[in-house]
Amino acid sequence: MSKPLHLDPDRFFQADGVTGNIARRLFAEIENLPIISPHGHTDPSWFANDTPFEDATSLFLWPDHYVHRMLYSQGIKLTQLGMAPKGGTAEPDRRKAWKIFAEHYYLFRGTPSRTWLDHAFSTVFGIDVRLDGETADHYYDVIKEKLATPAFKPRALFKRFNIELLATTEGATDPLVHHQKIKKEWDGRVITTFRPDGVVNPDIDGFAKNMADLAEITHEDVATWKGYLAALRNRRQYFREMGGATATDHGHPTPITADLPEVECQRMLDRALKGALTPTEAEMFRGQMLTEMALMSIEDGMTMQIHPGSFRNHNAELFAGYGPDRGADIPMRASYVDNLKPLLDKVGNRSDLTILLFTLDESNYARELAPLAGHYPCLTLGPAWWFHDSPEGMIRFRRNCTETAGFYNTAGFNDDTRAFLSIPARHNVARRMDCVYLAELVATKRLPEEEAVEVAKALAYDLPKKAYHL
Amino acid sequence: MSKPLHLDPDRFFQADGVTGNIARRLFAEIENLPIISPHGHTDPSWFANDTPFEDATSLFLWPDHYVHRMLYSQGIKLTQLGMAPKGGTAEPDRRKAWKIFAEHYYLFRGTPSRTWLDHAFSTVFGIDVRLDGETADHYYDVIKEKLATPAFKPRALFKRFNIELLATTEGATDPLVHHQKIKKEWDGRVITTFRPDGVVNPDIDGFAKNMADLAEITHEDVATWKGYLAALRNRRQYFREMGGATATDHGHPTPITADLPEVECQRMLDRALKGALTPTEAEMFRGQMLTEMALMSIEDGMTMQIHPGSFRNHNAELFAGYGPDRGADIPMRASYVDNLKPLLDKVGNRSDLTILLFTLDESNYARELAPLAGHYPCLTLGPAWWFHDSPEGMIRFRRNCTETAGFYNTAGFNDDTRAFLSIPARHNVARRMDCVYLAELVATKRLPEEEAVEVAKALAYDLPKKAYHL
Amino acid sequence: MSKPLHLDPDRFFQADGVTGNIARRLFAEIENLPIISPHGHTDPSWFANDTPFEDATSLFLWPDHYVHRMLYSQGIKLTQLGMAPKGGTAEPDRRKAWKIFAEHYYLFRGTPSRTWLDHAFSTVFGIDVRLDGETADHYYDVIKEKLATPAFKPRALFKRFNIELLATTEGATDPLVHHQKIKKEWDGRVITTFRPDGVVNPDIDGFAKNMADLAEITHEDVATWKGYLAALRNRRQYFREMGGATATDHGHPTPITADLPEVECQRMLDRALKGALTPTEAEMFRGQMLTEMALMSIEDGMTMQIHPGSFRNHNAELFAGYGPDRGADIPMRASYVDNLKPLLDKVGNRSDLTILLFTLDESNYARELAPLAGHYPCLTLGPAWWFHDSPEGMIRFRRNCTETAGFYNTAGFNDDTRAFLSIPARHNVARRMDCVYLAELVATKRLPEEEAVEVAKALAYDLPKKAYHL
């Protein structure tokens, strides 16, 4: 007997007789606002080419490292899921891979993945039975059949999801052909984000090659500090003009920043190009580049996002076989108060600059991030991120940040996902959890309800548009 | 249309049908207990001279760095609020400054500042409309008019607030003239607290001058270790006798303590007086002085407060223009278990010594502070402090500390404020939140209600008196 | 008038009208499941000899460092409790010691100790009045009388507590005579755990002696790396065969691991045996031994427990007088992501290895531990530990870990106690708190109730059996 799959309209709202009703009223005001997705990792080729998605396995399993990591943690090999390592083979039957996932779907009890997936299964595909070993084939068949119809092509889903704007993320040397094609052919608004890690982080695989590419496409001498900065300015402009970018994004191991004399910058660049930087020098190099990016943001008005604190590719064996983004990135402790000081000494008091700070170390919320964003004009808090982009994580974010930074030093929600079908689910959860938090303030008489409505709308729609200069 | 301002009598209490009722009953038992304010930063001249306060802007805006920081974070300049930098000018019209604040009052939604301010507006001034751009003038007029009447002079408010005792904080060389005048003229109990940072922290601006002053007023040779300690003993006695002090207060960057041989202390003192200490040596110097202060506390019975972990004046530009206390102090990660060991090895097992520990790094609550205070006889936990002195912060404090340290290793509430009119509001919130926590224990059958009443009374009144030896 | 002692059947459950009912239904499904106690510190001689316990003081006070620490923190000397320091004396009247405890029982309000003790007083001894100064004698008399009856002998209580399995912990050179006697004489299942700290931590008092003993009982040359490892293999086998051990346990100051070449290991061993390791080298030695233990666990199938992060014997004076385990161990900040990498690089991808991670630094739950356990096949999260083994601590554990690691990467509950009579109370609290968390998921529609029942059963019974290979 299969079990029913049912999305309760009051899910996440408090179960007591008062607070949940307030949450429900607040949510009714924002549930249907268009989705602003200003930071994420979907593939722009989906919208450029509008090729139908293929099946449940390639759509839900393969791109979702939240799913890989949980299955992998319980001893399931990626090959069993149909994912082959470099030079290796994997289970070729996608239906079989799907069945393994279905049989282990109980592992996701209590996780946001379960919430996101159930939301997509129910609202996108109209499935009304729960996923398990018995219903795996039903799921596979229904999804495959629907994906082959026009209503399930990427552009149609984008419209159906009520997405007003979707930002993808591309490396600094990307030609942005997909974004150009989208703009020419279609009225869906898909913009890029300038992510220069590949040419500002000397520790990244392929840094030398990336720098050579950067030189070639910009016709700048990236071996001189001035030329290197000019090349980056050039690409920022290209991203704005060809991809509609309004923001940059920086995924550094730490939030270290620096403000060094140009002669020292040149010396570091020389050594970076030779691959000769020590780990400490590489930190300094990245730190200097954050400050340079902030200065360029003042020039060109792009919002700057700093996403620090992930130990990338922690599992050496898995990385060797599969490369990055397979669920083996682990958060590290981070410190902002010292590390951001050089940058803040330089540009902290600018009101014409927006720097969005993210963290994977929640101990910073109340201790460092809310106090910093609650003081410096240039700083705004990005939402709960990655591992913390979950009902409990979102509530921790609001509980720990609001009292010091308020609501208006935060940036609304980011889905930050490569799982396209989870976007409506993620925004739905984020809106619900903000209403849960606001309902608590209202029910305990800390905030009048009509003010809570204003805040809820700001968090869902106005603040992301403001933070990303949209 | 202006909106109503209404302080709900059940604010903060749980909205479910059971727990909130318990909280209400508990609160009824303590709501009207006199206020013990054993740690704060009000200006004793207010009570010595009883000069009327002037207007809303100078009363509510200028002294409150919680307010500065939030407005500043959203791009409002301090000059717009009427605050001039050194050698600069500012908006001269206080009413205009007030209006800017009023128009941005929505920024404080969800913050304790909103709670404290609304409480004062409503209970002190009887205002019944919400503050916003439209009502700004009404507020300004009502407040100005009332402040000019006798009932709103500092001493009258002190009595109206039902303050049994108020402690201010003065530097080691302060002559305490205001406290002497208060004692002679008036029956309100305003005592001082001995805060020797200026003469024990070699990194403080003016350290050499402070030491010279200390030598002069004590007639001790502060260039010798023995003379230096004698001078401090002398001032502690002066503070007790002339200012009624029962406690000392120490605002150090870290909780580092030391227990060094005298010859090494003398060597550090020599270098400190020359301004020649390295940062590490300055840490050691401060750390040694904490241990010396603890030893003197055993001699003279003064409670010792350690307030570590703030990165003072993080915003270099703002500090240059405005000096300290403008909302630019940011908490840092702190460690107690190693740092306090030298002091605890020396005096940790003394029952005749009270050291109150505070933190800005809440990750220490359950990990280090509750275990330390739940073991060492000399240690007691100060309340949730500064950024964490808020409804959520207070609940985190109780939730994280109580299970290991209990209630009786805590010290009740400190308002720690320079905003005099917020004192009743802050104690009101603290009492409510303790009742919220206790009601939860009662409602979930972890504590019988009559025991919760005893605890509530202890937290509101008995424990602060005990902790501060009042 | 003495006050009633009453264990409410709904204690800990939510007080709102909906969630608490769900919690109650879930708990009804697991309340009476047998107790699996796979990690703890009871004394196996109790069950080997079945000698009656003596009185309240020796049963409840003396073995419980949670009780010592709280009383000590409020200035009560251990001698007053009848505990003599080395070469010293103490209050000889156990009844007097008990009375002091009873008079200070209010200190435990809000602590888990109160919960555990009240549970034992009520359910084991049938006492129906609250403990205080007035009822102290009644308690002492009732407990003494009952303990003298057969129904209160250790083996009888073990059966009455419905303990299916109880694991103790013994050092590597322990002959396990009690376990052998138990196995021969009795059908209660009491197994040992292999705790080799004394022979793998060169900083432990008596390391050289322990190594000599290890050599003698294994006939291995522990001065060679190969011989040393062989000796440990030998003891692991002995623990499995003679004591039924299925797990090892490692109480290290930090979670540092290492993977060094054998020549370097031999060099460290040489220096360790001479007591010549620097603190950093000693860390490396312990770290190397964690990796060696993991490798042996792959060979012999024993689950490996890592309990890091306690600053042992922080109170130097108390340690000198009383030795370890007197309530003076304090948690320290810990880092897992870097420290575990050498071990994980070696064995992290093994599905045939179970490593249980514990922490005293809860900031790691969401940041490092859940992400690590939610990815690496060999890792499982142990439950909330020690100071955090409390209602709030358990909820923090679930709230912070579940969304990333799920339920199935956790290991159910450990009581980890030397207080035998608290075992049913602790498991009862743990089961209740898991139901409280699950009820919240159900009430907020994040998990269907019938799935919550499955999870509750897994947490209470199935997962500990799986994690400990029982």
Average predicted confidence (pLDDT) for chain A? 97
Is the CB of B314 inside 8 Å of chain A's CB atoms?
A: yes
| Distances in whole angstroms, Cα of residue B404 to Cα of each of B339, B368, B451, B455, C330 | 20, 10, 18, 16, 11
Q: Closest Cα partner for A454 from A136, A152, A30?
A: A30
C303 in Cβ contact with C246 (< 8 Å) = yes
Query: Which of C109, C311, C330 lies closest to B447 in CB terms?
Result: C109
* Residue among A3, A73, A115 whose CB faces C446 most closely: A115
Tokens standing for A297? 């943001």
Query: Please, which pLDDT band fits residue A354 given cuts at 50, 70 and 90?
Result: very high
Q: Of chain A residues 85-124, which have a CB less than 8 A from chain C?
A: 106-112, 115
Q: Which two tokens stand for residue A322?
A: 């599969």
Model confidence at C172, in pLDDT bands (50, 70, 90)?
very high
What's the whole-number mean pLDDT along residues B262-270?
Answer: 98
- pLDDT of B459 higher than 80: yes
The Cα of B254 is separated from the nearest Cα of chain A by a number of Å equal to 14
Q: Determine the residue type at A275.
A: G
Confidence of residue B392 (pLDDT cuts 50, 70, 90): very high
- CB contact set of A356 (below 8 Å; sequence gap of 6+): A303, A304, A305, A306, A380, A381, A382, A411, A467
Burial A79-118, CB ≥16 within 10 A → b, else e: ebbbbebeeeeebeebbbbbbbbbebbbbbbbbbbbbbbb
Cα distances (angstroms) measured from residue C227 to each of A287, C265, C285: 49, 12, 16
- The reply to whether ipTM tops 0.95 is yes
DSSP string, B69-88: HHHHHTT--GGGGT-PPTT-
Each residue's pLDDT tens digit, A96-153: 999 999 999 999 999 999 999 999 999 999 999 999 999 999 999 999 999 999 999 9
Per residue, the 3-state secondary structure of chain C, as one string, reads CCCECCCCCCCCCCCCCCHHHHHHHHHHHHCCCCEEECCCCCCHHHHHHCCCCCCHHHHHHCCCHHHHHHHHHCCCCHHHHCCCCCCCCCCCCHHHHHHHHHHCHHHHCCCHHHHHHHHHHHHHCCCCECCCCCCHHHHHHHHHHHHCCHHHCHHHHHHHCCEEEEECCEECCCCCHHHHHHHHHCCCCEECCEECHHHHCCCCCCHHHHHHHHHHHHCCCCCCHHHHHHHHHHHHHHHHHHHCCCEEEECCCCCCCCCCCHHHHHHHHHHHHCCCCCHHHHHHHHHHHHHHHHHHHHHHCCEEEECCCEECCCCHHHHHHHCCCCCCCEECCCCCCCCCHHHHHHHCCCCCCCEEECCCCCCHHHHHHHHHHCCCCCEEECCCCHHHCCHHHHHHHHHHHHHHHCCCCECCCCCCCCCHHHHHHHHHHHHHHHHHHHHHHHHCCCCCHHHHHHHHHHHHHHHHHHHCCC
Burial C426-452 (b: 16+ CB within 10 A, else e): bbbbbbbbbbbbbbbbbbbbbbbeebb
Q: Measure the CA–CA gap between B169 and B86, rounded to whole angstroms.
A: 25
Contacts of C354 in chain A (CB under 8 A): none
Cα-Cα end-to-end distance for chain C: 49
The three-class DSSP label of residue A357 is strand
Tell me the percentage of chain B whose pLDDT exceeds 70: 100
At A207-263, the pLDDT tens digits run 999 999 999 999 999 999 999 999 999 999 999 999 999 999 999 999 999 999 999
Beta bridge partners of A191: A167
Asked if pLDDT for residue B308 goes beyond 90, the answer is yes
pLDDT of residue A1 exceeding 80, the answer is no
Segment A140-198, tens digit of pLDDT: 999 999 999 999 999 999 999 999 999 999 999 999 999 999 999 999 999 999 999 99
pLDDT value, residue A454: 98
Q: Which two three-digit tokens encode residue B401?
A: 């500390």
pLDDT of the residue at C210? 98
**Per-residue confidence band for C342, with pLDDT thresholds at 50, 70 and 90:** very high
Nearest CA to CA, how far is A347 from chain C (Å)? Answer: 30
C256: pLDDT strictly greater than 90: yes
| C463-467, long-range: CB < 8 A, 24+ apart | C463/C407, C463/C408, C463/C410, C463/C411, C463/C412, C464/C36, C464/C38, C464/C411, C464/C412, C464/C413, C464/C414, C465/C36, C466/C411, C467/C38, C467/C303, C467/C354, C467/C356, C467/C380, C467/C411, C467/C412
- pLDDT band of B1, cuts 50, 70, 90: confident
Residues 376-405 in C contacting B (C-alpha not used; CB under 8 Å): 387-388, 390-393
Q: How far is CA C184 from CA A46, C38, C162, C189, C241, in A?
A: 70, 21, 20, 11, 13
pLDDT value at residue C17: 84
Place of tokens 């009332």: B146
User: What is the longest distance spanned by two Cα atoms in chain B?
Assistant: 72
**A453, B19 Cβ separation under 8 angstroms:** no
Decide if C33 touches A, using CB distance below 8 A.
no
Tokens of B433: 């939140």
Going by pLDDT thresholds of 50, 70 and 90, the confidence category of residue C265 is: very high
Contacts of A242 (CB under 8 A, 6+ apart): A176, A179, A180
Q: Compare all CA atoms of chain C with the CA of A14 and give the residue at the minimum distance.
A: C444
What is the nearest CA distance from B309 to chain A, expressed in angstroms? 10
**Over residues A73-92, mean pLDDT:** 96
Using 50, 70 and 90 to split pLDDT, how confident is the model at C151?
Answer: very high
Q: Is the pLDDT of residue B100 over 80?
A: yes
User: What are the distances in angstroms from CA B316 to CA A350, B63, B374?
Assistant: 13, 20, 39
Strand partners, C246: none
Domains and CATH numbers, chain C: 19-54+151-467 (3.20.20.140), 55-150 (1.10.2020.10)
Instruction: For chain C, give the mean pLDDT.
Output: 97
What distance in Å separates the CA atoms of residue B111 and residue A246, rounded to the nearest whole number? Answer: 31
CB C82 within 8 A of CB C91: yes
**Distance in Å, alpha carbon of A442 to nearest chain B alpha carbon:** 9
**pLDDT at position A421:** 97
C374 close to A (CB below 8 A): yes
Residue in B75, B327, B361 nearest the CB of A351: B75
C50: left (phi over 0), alpha (psi -120 to 50) or beta: left
**φ, ψ at A36 (rounded to 5°):** -105, 120
C447 touches chain A (CB under 8 A): yes
Strand, coil or helix: B165: strand
Residue C1 has pLDDT above 80, yes or no: no
Average pLDDT over residues C292-308: 98
SS3 category, B126: coil
Specify the pLDDT at position C312. 95
pLDDT in tens, C319-339: 999 999 899 999 999 999 999
Q: For the segment C36-58, what is each residue's pLDDT rounded down to a tens digit? A: 999 999 999 999 999 999 999 99
Name which of A11, A72, A316 is nearest C446 (Cβ-Cβ).
A11
Across the interface, do C455 and A75 touch by the CB < 8 Å criterion?
Answer: no
**C435 in contact with chain A, both atoms CB, cutoff 8 A:** no
Q: B17 pLDDT exceeds 90?
A: no
Q: Are C74 and C105 in contact (CB under 8 A)?
A: no
Average pLDDT over residues A398-423: 97
Contacts of B26 in chain C (CB under 8 A): none
Chain B positions touching A454 (Cβ under 8 A) are: 106
**pLDDT of C220 strictly over 90:** yes
Q: What is the pLDDT of residue A73?
A: 98
Question: What are the pLDDT digits (tens) for B436-446?
Answer: 999 999 999 99
Residue C263 predicted with pLDDT over 90: yes
Q: Residue B334: name the closest of B305, B358, B356 by CA.
A: B358
Residue A379 CA to residue A403 CA, distance in Å, equals 16
Task: Give, for B248, the enclosing helix (H) or strand (E).
Answer: strand B247-250
Tell whether the model's pLDDT for residue A14 goes beyond 90: yes
- C455, amino acid identity: V
List pLDDT tens digits, range A264-286. 999 999 999 999 999 999 999 99
Q: Which of B419, B319, B326 is nearest to B73 (CA)?
A: B326
